[in-house]
């Protein structure tokens, strides 16, 4: 029996921009629906290459739920392509390649406590995993979500965080690096929350996403808390171009972040993680 040819991973497929939500002054969430057919399945943690015609292409993690019909992406304006994406209006056309890369170990973590540590926009790649865990809440132990942000105005998905916080089966803490006296929440860095968080150090899986510096400090706090390196997963970020491990732009030691990541188990990269030249 003949099988349908696999789509060329280097050829973008056309998608229509659906709803657009302005999250922050420089950050927008877009829902993307294929012009024809269904969108491909994805696993939490994977990314797509988003192509703005005439501008360029950029790797963006998927931030929606696996069972949503559209691809949902939260994009921050940090360059030409990402800036152009944040300015797209509903109805615009965009090219999409993907999904690519590895995923968060949400199935493997069943039965264990799950600790999510997000810094800034790092909450976006974690959100599909959070949705998945919360949708299957009974399969997990304690669920702890720790979020760090630059200041109260820069808190991503604020309404959703407030909803999660109201749940009786989730421990959620938000902290900001900088605030004035009008802010009544926590001030301090997100790794410091790990010391106070209630989870089983020996039976927890930690999923971390944020700026690399924030992840380094988070790793130190997890080490201090005696969480084993093989139970820690990070979402790495490098300059991804081809997204299929061919071009080498995202080389990270002996690995390619697009193919062997973005989600990587810490013990597999521990030796190269702190090497400056890598």
> In the complex with another protein, which residue's Cβ is closer, 114 or 219?
219
**Cis peptide leading into residue 42 (ω within 30°):** no
| Residue of 12, 44, 105, 191 that binds another protein (CB under 8 A) | 191
Nearest approach, Cβ of residue 211 and another protein (Å): 4
> In the complex with another protein, which residue's Cβ is closer, 34 or 211?
211
> In the complex with another protein, which residue's Cβ is closer, 109 or 194?
194
> In the complex with another protein, which residue's Cβ is closer, 21 or 196?
196
Nearest approach, Cβ of residue 26 and another protein (Å): 8
- In the window 171-190, what residues touch another protein (CB under 8 A)? 175, 177-189
Task: Classify strands 27-34 and 13-24 as parallel, antiparallel or unpaired.
Answer: antiparallel
- Half-sphere exposure in the Cβ direction for 251 (13 Å, CA): 8
Helix H or strand E encompassing 271: helix 266-273
Q: At 232, list the tokens.
A: 């820690």
Nearest approach, Cβ of residue 196 and another protein (Å): 7
DSSP 106: T
- Measuring CA to CA, which residue among 128, 138, 73, 74 is closest to residue 106? 128
CB 233, CB 266: distance < 8 Å: yes
How crowded is residue 62: how many other Cβ atoms within 10 Å of its Cβ? 28
Nearest approach, Cβ of residue 177 and another protein (Å): 5
158-160-166-171 Cα dihedral, nearest 10 degrees: -80
125 lines the binding site for another protein (CB under 8 A):
no
148 lines the binding site for another protein (CB under 8 A):
yes
Give the footprint of another protein on this chain (CB under 8 A): 78, 119-121, 148-150, 154, 175, 177-189, 191-192, 195-196, 210-211, 213-214, 217, 220
């Amino acid at each position: 029996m003949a099988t349908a040819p696999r789509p060329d991973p280097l050829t973008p497929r056309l998608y229509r921009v659906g709803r657009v939500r302005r999250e922050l002054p420089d950050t927008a969430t877009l829902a993307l629906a294929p012009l024809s057919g269904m969108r491909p399945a994805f696993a939490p943690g994977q990314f797509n290459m988003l192509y703005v015609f005439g501008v360029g292409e950029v790797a963006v993690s998927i931030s929606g739920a696996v069972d949503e019909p559209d691809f949902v992406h939260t994009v921050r304006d940090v360059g030409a392509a990402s800036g152009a994406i944040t300015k797209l209006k509903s109805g615009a056309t965009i090219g999409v390649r993907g999904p690519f890369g590895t995923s968060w170990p949400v199935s493997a973590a069943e039965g264990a406590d799950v600790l999510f540590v997000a810094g800034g926009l790092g909450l976006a790649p974690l959100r599909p995993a959070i949705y998945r865990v919360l949708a299957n809440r009974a399969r997990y132990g304690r669920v702890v979500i720790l979020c760090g942000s630059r200041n109260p105005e820069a808190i991503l998905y604020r309404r959703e965080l407030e909803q999660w916080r109201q749940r009786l089966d989730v421990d959620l803490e938000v902290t900001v690096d900088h605030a004035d006296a009008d802010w009544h929440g926590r001030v301090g860095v997100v790794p410091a929350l790990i010391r106070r968080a209630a989870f089983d150090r020996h039976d927890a899986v930690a999923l971390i996403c944020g700026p690399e510096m924030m992840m380094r400090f988070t790793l130190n706090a997890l080490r201090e808390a005696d969480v084993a390196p093989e139970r820690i997963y990070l979402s790495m970020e490098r300059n991804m171009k081809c997204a299929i491990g061919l071009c080498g732009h995202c080389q990270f030691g002996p690995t390619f972040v697009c193919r062997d990541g973005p989600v990587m188990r810490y013990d597999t990269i521990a030796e190269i993680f702190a090497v400056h030249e890598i």
